[in-house]
C-alpha cells in the first residue's frame, strides 16, 4: 500500500504526507522561492552583459545651416551617420581619433575635418564647419 498522500486544505496550505513525516508548503513560501530564483537568474544573465562605460561624442555646427545633407564620423573600425538639424549635429562615438565628412547639398562642396581626438566620457567640439559654394 502506498503511504504517500497529499491533501489540500481550504486555507491554501498544502499538506504532504510521506510515510514518517509531514511538511507544510504555503503559497507564500512558493512565491518567495520563485522570486529568489528569478533574482539569481537576472544576476547571472547581467554578469555576462558587457557594461559600456561613459559615452563620448563629437558635436559642432555647419554654415550655412541648410548646406549639409549628412555628417559622417569615421575611424578605423566604425562609421556613424547623422543628419544635421538647423545646422547642428552631435554623434555618439567611442574614444579615439575620428574624421568628419560632411556631405553637402548643391551648390556647396563636401568638407572633411581630420584628426578629431575624442577622450572617453567627454564631448569634443568640432567647431563650425564652413561649407563653400562650388
Q: Is the pLDDT of residue 18 over 70?
A: no
Handedness of CA 45, 91, 120, 77 (dihedral sign): positive
Q: Is the pLDDT of residue 119 over 90?
A: yes
Residue 73: how many CB atoms within 10 A of its CB? 23
C-alpha dist (Å) from residue 23 to 6, 7, 28: 11, 11, 15
Do both 63 and 122 map to the same domain? yes
pLDDT of residue 14: 52
> In terms of C-beta density within 10 A (0-12 exposed, 13-18 middle, 19 or more buried), how is residue 121 classed?
exposed
Do both 65 and 105 map to the same domain? yes
Averaged pLDDT, 37-58: 76
Q: Is the pLDDT of residue 125 over 90?
A: yes
Averaged pLDDT, 35-55: 73
Cell 555628417, located at residue: 71
Do both 123 and 72 map to the same domain? yes
Ordered DSSP codes for 22-37: EEEEEHHHHHHHHHHH
Q: Is the pLDDT of residue 51 over 90?
A: no
Structural domain including 15 reads 5-47
Distance CA 6, CA 52 (A): 52
Do both 22 and 63 map to the same domain? no
Stronger pLDDT, 51 or 59, i.e. the higher one: 59
Do both 33 and 93 map to the same domain? no
Instruction: Considering only the C-alpha atoms of the chain, give the largest distance between any 2 of them, rounded to a whole number of Å.
Output: 99
Averaged pLDDT, 7-21: 51
pLDDT of residue 30: 59
Do both 60 and 43 map to the same domain? no
Amino acid at each position: 500500500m502506498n503511504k504517500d498522500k497529499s491533501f489540500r486544505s481550504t486555507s491554501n496550505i498544502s499538506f504532504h504526507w510521506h510515510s514518517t513525516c509531514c511538511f507544510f508548503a504555503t503559497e507564500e513560501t512558493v512565491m518567495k522561492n520563485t522570486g529568489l530564483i528569478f533574482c539569481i537568474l537576472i544576476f547571472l544573465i547581467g554578469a555576462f552583459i558587457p557594461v559600456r562605460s561613459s559615452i563620448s561624442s563629437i558635436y559642432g555646427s555647419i554654415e550655412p545651416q541648410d548646406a549639409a545633407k549628412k555628417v559622417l564620423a569615421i575611424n578605423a573600425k566604425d562609421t556613424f551617420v547623422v543628419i544635421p538639424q538647423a545646422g547642428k549635429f552631435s554623434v555618439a562615438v567611442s574614444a579615439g581619433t575620428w574624421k568628419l565628412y560632411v556631405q553637402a547639398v548643391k551648390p556647396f562642396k563636401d568638407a572633411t575635418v581630420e584628426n578629431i581626438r575624442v577622450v572617453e566620457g567627454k564631448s569634443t567640439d568640432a567647431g563650425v564647419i564652413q561649407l563653400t559654394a562650388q
